[in-house]
Amino acid sequence: MTFAANAETTLEPIPVREIAPWAIFALLLLTIGIYFVGAEQGATAVFQGEMIHEFVHDGRHLLGFPCH
């Protein structure tokens, strides 16, 4: 089986205005994730209780965040 490249194929750049909403969304998700893993405990806690801390506890240690 052989594959032949089409000589007429051209790559067009993707406009920034199409990428920007996805990049902002990804940055927002990453920021929220880092907050919950790294800072949601003690004095900086937004939510009451230990549920979120216990849920992300192993990930916190894996990423090098101290918690005890």
Reported as a single tens digit per residue, the pLDDT across 24-67 is 999 999 999 888 888 777 677 788 877 887 888 888 888 888 77
- Under DSSP, the state recorded for 65 is -
Q: How far, rounded to the nearest angstrom, does the alpha carbon of residue 38 sit from its chain's CA centroid?
A: 13
pLDDT on residue 8 = 76
Single pTM value for the model: 0.63
- pLDDT tens-digit series, residues 14-34: 899 999 999 999 999 999 988
Average pLDDT in the chain:
83
CB burial readout 40-64, b (16+ within 10 A) else e:
bbeeeeeeeeeebbeebbeebeeee
